[in-house]
Amino acid sequence: MRYFRANINTMVGYTPGEQPPLGVKIVKLNTNENPYPPSPASLQVLQKIDGEQLRRYPDPMATEFREAVGNVFGFPPDWILVGNGSDEILNSIVRACVEQTQKVVYPTPTYILYRTLAQMQPAQFVEVDYDKDYNLPIEQLIAANGAVTLIASPNSPSGHAIPTTLLSQLASQLSGVLVIDEAYVDFAEADALEIVKTHDNVIVLRTLSKGYSLAGLRLGFCFANPSLLEGLVKVKDSYNIDAIACSVGTAAILDQSHKVNNAERVKSSRAKLTTDLKQLGFHVYPSQANFLLVQPPKSNAEEIYQLLKKQGILVRYFKQVHLDNKLRITVGTEEQNQILIEVLTQILT
């Protein structure tokens, strides 16, 4: 279409995982949502939202939520920025920090949105392959010299986490910004939040979409040195956090025990699902997230994806290099995982 800029015409655009309408009976294990409900305290706040709260514009900086995050994680509020999902913060980072002649750098396979954001800018992008054991290609990442380097840890779709010492080393050696995307950190053994305090080029991203069971609310946040957040504030939508998200999200972030308990359930189901899938002959990559990357015993991942779908089970299949023989399966409830294993058993025998 001639009305678009050239880079918009040529780019593919991000394709989110399938979202069947609510009420359709399906075992939905394709987009890494938390299988358990959000904090009851946050749902109570939702019940009490009134017209007056919606009549007014919301707080541009979501101060109530920002202060709650600061209290929970031990940071002053000016070290925190809130986004309409962490996707919006990623968008703001690329828009604020990368010139057209500069590069966005990330190891692959990873979150496909990183490439989409570079193409929208448009900026150059450099994709550095992980090796087969998902070791961080740190030398190549440094050599690529990105204005922004993006690392998801735990990573999607592999589920592996990067040791904090390596991330800290990377932060010291990069001349640009290092973004550590911790969307799945609530299911992991460690986090990299401390690095923010000692490196003024590091942004740590968090979200309420996975650990807090609030993907529909669209609320993410990040930690960084206040001087680095200044530029992001200039490019974000002025009223990016709606009044409902701010109130409901505040209650959810303050209810850490609800999140922790659900994460414990997911982690124990993850261990059981790993054992069951291995018993069926799958290769299962070690995961610190709420999903498993698996390789079927016979090289027929796409066929299995289709057969599962026919039986009402949605998992994620990526038709791309390194992933076209693998499936990414979100850890569901015990009951959902059981159904998956039963149907997979039928398919494979």
Cα(18)–Cα(320) distance, rounded to whole angstroms?
A: 17
Give the binding range for ligand PLP (CB under 6 A) out of 19-27, 44-52, 64-72, 81-89. 81-89
Figure out which of the listed residues 183, 185, 245, 273 binds ligand PLP, where binding follows CB under 6 A: 183
Cα(22)–Cα(26) distance, rounded to whole angstroms?
A: 9
Q: What are the DSSP E strand ranges found in the chain?
A: 27-28, 80-83, 103-108, 124-129, 148-152, 177-181, 202-207, 220-223, 283-284, 291-295, 313-314, 327-330
Q: What is the DSSP string of 194-259?
A: THHHH-TTEEEEEESSSTTS-TTT--EEEE--HHHHHHHHHHS-TT-S-HHHHHHHHHHHH-HHHH
Figure out which of the listed residues 30, 34, 42, 86 binds ligand PLP, where binding follows CB under 6 A: 86
Site string for ligand PLP, 31-70 (x = CB under 6 A): -x--------------------------------------
* Residue 111 binds to ligand PLP (criterion: CB under 6 A): yes
The residue count for binding ligand PLP (CB under 6 A) is: 14
Figure out which of the listed residues 87, 186, 242, 255 binds ligand PLP, where binding follows CB under 6 A: 87
* Residue 156 binds to ligand PLP (criterion: CB under 6 A): yes
* Residue 242 binds to ligand PLP (criterion: CB under 6 A): no
Give the binding range for ligand PLP (CB under 6 A) out of 83-91, 187-195, 275-283, 309-317. 83-91
* Residue 152 binds to ligand PLP (criterion: CB under 6 A): yes
Give the binding range for ligand PLP (CB under 6 A) out of 195-203, 204-212, 222-230, 252-260. 204-212
Sign of CA dihedral 318, 319, 323, 326: positive
Q: Which residues contact 314 (CB under 8 A, 6 or more apart)?
A: 17, 18, 20, 26, 27, 28, 29, 30, 308
**Least gap, CB of 122 to ligand PLP (angstroms):** 21
Positions that interact with ligand PLP (CB under 6 A) = 32, 85-87, 111, 152, 156, 181, 183, 207, 209-210, 215, 220
